[in-house]
Amino acid sequence: MKHFLTLFVLTFLLFNCGATQTTNEPDLADVPEEDIVRISNDDIEYEIIIIEPGFNGWLASIARPEGYYSQSFLEARNRILVQEWNTRVLQVNRFDPSLYELPIDYKANVDYGYDVNYKLYNYFIYFQLTYKQQLSTFVPRI
């Protein structure tokens, strides 16, 4: 089985590693608890840690509520947004490498569940609105 560790540190990072490997997890001791969102699922063995000042509050107060979008909608949008994100990671001369640090290993054939897709999609919306970026032809709005 594969483990997925996702980390948002002003950008979205995804590390994919084998079951026997270790990952370099961030030191969260200095990060305020309100800036951390954790999602985990033992069935497919992954953990997502989102560290982004303001995202947790934005998700709770401004983002559309859970259940507003269908999982298939979220998955379709996430595939598009991840693809553009990864393109920008590779084009360091065109896009700010401090915003697009590492690629996202989002597999279309993996069912990450509603919670992951919901929070990933909303992070992309938050990221686009906060950093004045547009990752697709869809205008980011709430």
Q: What is the DSSP letter of 102?
A: S
- pLDDT score, position 122: 94
**Among 142, 113, 115, which Cα is nearest to 44's?**
113
- pLDDT score, position 83: 96
Q: CA-based angle 56:4:101, to the nearest 5?
A: 65
Residue 49 — φ and ψ, nearest 5°?
-120, 120
Residue 51's pLDDT band (boundaries 50, 70, 90)?
confident
pLDDT digits (tens, 9 = 90+) for 54-90: 998 999 999 999 999 999 999 999 999 999 999 999 9
Place of tokens 């279309």: 108
- pLDDT score, position 44: 60
On whether residue 142 sits in a domain, the answer given is: no
Give the CB-side neighbour count of residue 60, counting CA atoms within 13 A: 8
More confident residue, 13 or 69: 69
On whether residue 136 sits in a domain, the answer given is: no
**Angle (deg, nearest 10), helices 113-131 and 71-90:** 50
On whether residue 90 sits in a domain, the answer given is: yes
Give the residue-averaged pLDDT of 88-99. 94
| Domain boundaries, position 30 | 3-131
Q: Is 118 helix (H, G, I), strand (E, B) or coil?
A: helix
Give the residue-averaged pLDDT of 92-119. 90
pLDDT digits (tens, 9 = 90+) for 21-34: 334 455 666 666 66
**58 contacts: CB under 8 Å, gap ≥ 6:** 126
On whether residue 141 sits in a domain, the answer given is: no
On whether residue 23 sits in a domain, the answer given is: yes
On whether residue 94 sits in a domain, the answer given is: yes
Q: How many domains would you assign to the chain?
A: 1
